[in-house]
Amino acid sequence: MSPDLELVHTRQDESFRAWVHDYPHTVAKWHFHPEYEVHVIRESSGKFFVGDFIGDFAPGNLVLTGSNLPHNWISDSGNSAEVPSRDLVLQFSREAVERMVSAFAELSPVLVLLDQASRGLQFPDRLGLAIVPVMQELSTAHGARRVSLLMSILDQLIGCADRKLLAGPSYDVNAQRYMSSSINQVLSYIQQNLSGNLRETDVIELSGMSVSTFTRFFKRHTGCTFVQYQNRLRLNEACELLMCTDLSVTDVCYRVGFNNVSNFNRQFLALKGMPPSRFRALHRLNEAPAQVNRAAA
């Protein structure tokens, strides 16, 4: 079965992504991405898959996956029961790490670790359990605290000699082979043309499917319609622009691909429970204490 491509969204003012997700979740499936991933299981047990490796997992399961290495965790409950905050995830590119190493030579062992992770690395559950609170804090941390927590996690991974390679030596990590599948071509095309005049008919033509077949196909792989998926990506980009730039709400609307401000406001309200202007105001209110503390220092 061909893995699906996950598009990892890292904010413009951050160099890596750290987050928590429940189970089931749209990314809890057989998938891959160019970014490296530190993955910790907080709750539940089941089977996990990395390349051609299949193993058992329990709370504390700690794995580092290499670039474009397919992976998935399936809880014993299947999709019949929810597991809140099951997965703690840290994702970063090799380029981001290389920039860190160029600034701090002491971090060069991280590159050795990443090279070893090309087939996936599993660490002892006891280390995973110890890292859980650090990963949990990292998912909501800001500024220099994020970097401090990241360094702590990487230091513990580097210092742990008890690590196990997962995928076999002959396993072929070939992203181009995965990308040949229809869903990955479709998702990549949507991402690349998101801010333009992206029409569903163009995507259907790219897929070579009939309208009805594409509709079923897209819903099965993404859990939503084409328009819902497109709007979700555009609104995610809008949130970043509202948080990280001084662009007006109108400019943000057109920058992310909406062509109607009223529709943009309505869609934003439905997703975030507040209008864009309120979202920006609350974000700046949230940032104010940090600015006060820096000024006082």
How is residue 292 written in tokens?
């006060």
Looking at the fold, whether 152 and 217 belong to one and the same domain comes out as no
Q: Among the residues of the chain, which ranges form H helices?
A: 94-103, 109-116, 125-138, 144-159, 175-179, 182-192, 200-207, 211-222, 226-244, 249-255, 261-272, 276-296
Does residue 251 carry a pLDDT above 90? Answer: yes
297 inside domain: no
User: Coil, strand or helix: which one is 111?
Assistant: helix
Number of domains in the chain: 2
Residue 257: per-residue pLDDT: 92
Does residue 128 carry a pLDDT above 70? Answer: yes
Q: Which of 73-82, 137-146, 198-207 is the least confident region? A: 73-82
Mean pLDDT of 98-127: 96
Mean pLDDT of 163-191: 82
Looking at the fold, whether 138 and 195 belong to one and the same domain comes out as no
CATH code, 203: 1.10.10.60
At CB < 8 A and 24+ separation, what contacts does 133-140 make?
Answer: 135/18, 135/20, 135/38, 135/40, 135/88, 135/89, 135/90, 136/20, 136/42, 136/85, 136/88, 138/18, 138/90, 139/18, 139/19, 139/20, 139/88
216 inside domain: yes
**Residue 70, Cβ neighbours under 10 Å: how many?**
23
Final residue of a structural domain among 165, 193, 208: 165
295 inside domain: no
Q: What is the pLDDT of residues 238-248, one digit of tens each?
A: 988 888 889 99
Mean pLDDT of 241-269: 93
What does the alpha-carbon distance between residue 51 and residue 3 come to, in Å, rounded to a whole number?
10
Residue 236: per-residue pLDDT: 84
Phi/psi of residue 86, nearest 5 degrees: -65, -40
Q: Which of 97-101, 116-120, 210-214, 216-220 is the least confident region? A: 216-220
Does residue 8 carry a pLDDT above 80? Answer: yes
CATH code, 135: 2.60.120
Looking at the fold, whether 105 and 187 belong to one and the same domain comes out as no
How is residue 61 written in tokens?
């399961």
291 inside domain: no
Looking at the fold, whether 151 and 190 belong to one and the same domain comes out as no
Does residue 2 carry a pLDDT above 60? Answer: yes
DSSP assignment of 55-92, as one string?
EEE-TT-EEEE-TT--EEEEETTTTSS-EEEEEEEEEE
174 inside domain: no
Mean pLDDT of 46-74: 95
Q: How sure is the predictor about 286, in pLDDT bands with cuts at 50, 70 and 90?
A: low
Looking at the fold, whether 187 and 160 belong to one and the same domain comes out as no
250 inside domain: yes
Looking at the fold, whether 141 and 258 belong to one and the same domain comes out as no
Final residue of a structural domain among 105, 134, 165: 165
Looking at the fold, whether 185 and 156 belong to one and the same domain comes out as no
The DSSP bridge partners found for residue 88 are 20, 40
User: Coil, strand or helix: which one is 164?
Assistant: strand
Q: How sure is the predictor about 34, in pLDDT bands with cuts at 50, 70 and 90?
A: very high
> What is the pLDDT of the chain when averaged over all its residues?
89
Crossing angle for the helix pair 182-192 and 211-222, to the nearest 10 degrees: 80
Residue 131: per-residue pLDDT: 97
Looking at the fold, whether 254 and 114 belong to one and the same domain comes out as no
Looking at the fold, whether 97 and 223 belong to one and the same domain comes out as no
Q: What is the pLDDT of residues 67-89, one digit of tens each?
A: 999 999 999 976 667 999 999 99
51 inside domain: yes
Does residue 112 carry a pLDDT above 90? Answer: yes
CA atoms within 13 A on the CB side of 23: 23
What's the pTM value of the predicted model, to 2 decimals? 0.76
Mean pLDDT of 34-40: 97
Q: Which domain holds residue 60?
A: 4-165
289 inside domain: no
Looking at the fold, whether 129 and 224 belong to one and the same domain comes out as no
Looking at the fold, whether 137 and 268 belong to one and the same domain comes out as no
Give percent of the chain above pLDDT 70.
Answer: 94
Final residue of a structural domain among 136, 165, 194: 165
Looking at the fold, whether 18 and 69 belong to one and the same domain comes out as yes
